[in-house]
A and B are shown apart, each in its own frame.
Chain A
Amino acid sequence: MQMPSLWGAVAVAGFQLRRLLTPPRLAMAALGAVFPAAVMLAASRASRGRLDPDLAVVLLYVLIPEGLCLLGLLVTMCPAVSDELERGTWVHVTVRPSGRASLLLGTFLAAVVWTGSVALIALGIALAVTKVWHPEAVAMAFSGLIVLSCIGRAALFALPAVIMPKRALVASVGVAIVVEYLAGVLPAVVNQATVSLRLRTLLVEWMGWRRKLPVEIQLLVDMQPAWVQVIAVFIVAAVFLTAALFILERRQFPPSEEV
């Protein structure tokens, strides 16, 4: 497998980010950035300003590191190969010495930077309109969760992007539902490979909720300390990305598969 040069991946990330700077994409990003705050305001209004601060944190977690990050990565990471095939740029990038690896890693970088930035802005806006205990600590914890969510999920979506490029979005939604949200809540070995288990556990750890959790909910989180969860996300991401690179290096696209 050809190892990408750092500059190659950075060059691809640069032009992928430039491609994302279109009015429709910016409008979508703006919508994504204000949506969690709008939901938090609606929830606060529905509870007549008495939204439980812990419940507010759980709601923020569902909206940002889970919901917003997942949606953003579906849009930015899934078309890693299919977009290039459709735009006719695939051949021009992959005919370079480390083109395929640079393309995948560059798109991964761009997806993480773009989605992560939108999610961090969304977090800032949401925290400004939401009453939580220790907002600085929540901001720190959620920033970490956002970064880990983006890295782990972007790597996860790299697999459908290279295995079935033309159905990558549908396949990724399936992967998200089956792997992240079904396997992720099974109290079995299979959930150890999911990003959602790690993020839930980190939320519980960083919010200091471990002792408060009812026994049945404790089955949904891991018992290991926070640093183990962080390392686990990086290991899972590295495994997914390596597998995706391995597959991409061996894939052949006949000219008829390009639009």
Chain B
Amino acid sequence: MIEVVDLVKDYRAGDGSVVHAVDHISFTVAAGETVGLLGANGAGKTTTLRVLATLLKPTSGTARVAGYDVVADPVGVRRHLGYVSATTGVADRLTPREIFTSFGRLHGLDREATATRVERLLAGLDLTSCADRPAGRLSSGQRQRVSLGRALVHNPPALVLDEPTNALDVLGARDLLSMLGQLRGEGHAILISTHRLHEIEHRCDRFVIVHMGRIVATGTRDELVADGAGLEDAFFVAVSRRVF
């Protein structure tokens, strides 16, 4: 469902030098699978996700979502992808219902289809009780659920989440991750980036660890983690191998 092959993304820095934000990265995410993209700040996680979301153009390599290439057919990608970020970007003055409706319209859904979808999302994300309350008066957990609903308004088969639990407390994070578990069960392909490893250690099918733009380790938890250790230890081992 999500396929990244030999992806490179360079930026030109202010002093004219070239920064390799993403350096020949390859991985896949199948339907009904959750993959964790792990890395420290500046490792290239967000850039990778933004290339997948067609917000940035790759320097070289390919990225596809549901078979659509991010460069050749960005509109096809956008129709099949939902994107959630750490900064929810939820308008304070709008209610969850209004936000979902606006974004449904942005996807070209007609009034009836939008209304049906919005009601389903409000119920599924446990937002019915605050559906008509301005988002500025919602808790951070509720706002992140609104952000998730906004990404799901067109029912995309692939979902990309960039550090979605950053602003959430323990309960909010657990809530959100449980909902992602349900979505995986429904067949969505989920790619989630985070540096809060403990939260997703037992929730992902596979992990891709990136450091300084490159993949330094990849595999299931059992493949990465030594006996008696945790994912965090495996992460430090993978990253330090690269640095030293």
B-contacting residues of A (Cβ < 8 Å)?
2, 5, 7-8, 10-12, 14-15, 18-19, 21-22, 87-99, 102, 252-255, 258
Query: Can you spell out 19 A-B residue pairs with CB atoms less than 8 angstroms apart?
Result: A5-B106, A7-B105, A8-B106, A8-B107, A10-B105, A11-B106, A19-B91, A88-B87, A91-B89, A92-B83, A92-B89, A92-B150, A94-B55, A96-B103, A98-B108, A99-B78, A252-B57, A255-B46, A255-B47
Query: Which B residues are CB-close (under 8 A) to A96?
Result: 78, 103, 106-107
Among B54, B56, B75, B105, point to the contact of A11 (Cβ < 8 A): B105
Interface mask (B167-211 → A, CB under 8 Å = 1, otherwise 0)? 000000000000000000000000000000000000000000000
Pick from B57, B79, B85, B151 the residue with the most CB of A within 10 Å: B85
Interface mask (B73-113 → A, CB under 8 Å = 1, otherwise 0)? 01100110101010111010110001101110111100000
Cβ of B29 < 8 Å from any Cβ of A? no
CA distance A99 to B79 in the complex (A): 11
CA distance A102 to B102 in the complex (A): 11
Contact A95 B78 (CB under 8 A): yes
Contact B108 A7 (CB under 8 A): yes
Pick from B94, B101, B108 the residue with the most CB of A within 10 Å: B108
- The residue on A at minimum CB distance from B105 is A11
| Chief secondary structure at chain A's binding surface | helix
Contact B78 A97 (CB under 8 A): yes
CA distance A98 to B9 in the complex (A): 24
Known: A2-B74, A87-B91. 14 other contacts (CB 8 A): A8-B108, A11-B101, A11-B102, A15-B102, A18-B98, A88-B85, A89-B89, A91-B55, A96-B78, A96-B106, A96-B107, A97-B79, A99-B106, A252-B55
Query: Which A residues are CB-close (under 8 A) to B21?
Result: 254
Contact B91 A15 (CB under 8 A): yes
Q: How many interface residues does B have (CB within 8 Å)?
A: 35
Contact B11 A254 (CB under 8 A): yes
Cβ of B20 < 8 Å from any Cβ of A? no
Interface mask (B52-63 → A, CB under 8 Å = 1, otherwise 0)? 011111000000
